[in-house]
């Protein structure tokens, strides 16, 4: 399985200007309900067909809801020559750490 990176370590890399690409591998409805700010939604089933769209000049961080989808996605990326890690704790861990998220407005 892919190495996991903590939400705080991802945030530190973003703050340092490393700008990792953050990919939400959950389904679009889950992404729409709330996601890491700035994350791109590529459901895991679509990821193999999207590899050519991803640059190799930045680290890629994959996340889901804390299960194994993000690890499988990171492993797939690494097997295809990308520098990729899975986000430890997934979206719930990111949100619990108090980091920036995008959610629909409750109005």
- Domain residue ranges of the chain, discontinuous segments joined by +: 4-98
Mean pLDDT of 24-48: 97
Of 60, 64, 70, 76, which one is the catalytic site residue?
64
pLDDT value at 10 more than 50: yes
- 61-83 confidence digits (pLDDT tens): 999 998 899 999 999 999 999 99
CB atoms near residue 66 (< 10 Å):
16
Strands 84-87 and 4-5, sheet pairing: parallel
In angstroms, rounded to a whole number, what is the distance separating the alpha carbons of residues 94 and 76? Answer: 22
- DSSP annotation string for 46-64: THHHHGGGS-SSS-EEEE-
Catalytic site includes residue 70: no
pTM for the model stands at: 0.93
- Give the homologous superfamily in CATH for domain 4-98: Rhodanese-like domain (3.40.250.10)
């Amino acid at each position: 399985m892919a190495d996991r990176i903590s939400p705080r370590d991802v945030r530190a890399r973003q703050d340092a200007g490393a700008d990792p690409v953050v990919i939400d591998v959950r389904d679009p409805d889950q992404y729409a309900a709330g996601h890491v700010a700035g994350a791109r939604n590529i459901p895991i089933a679509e990821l193999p067909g999207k590899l050519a769209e991803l640059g190799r000049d930045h680290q890629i961080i994959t996340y889901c809801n804390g299960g194994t989808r993000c690890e499988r996605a990171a492993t797939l990326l690494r097997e295809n020559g990308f520098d990729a890690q899975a986000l430890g704790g997934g979206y719930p861990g990111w949100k619990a750490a108090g980091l920036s998220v995008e959610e629909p407005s409750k109005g």
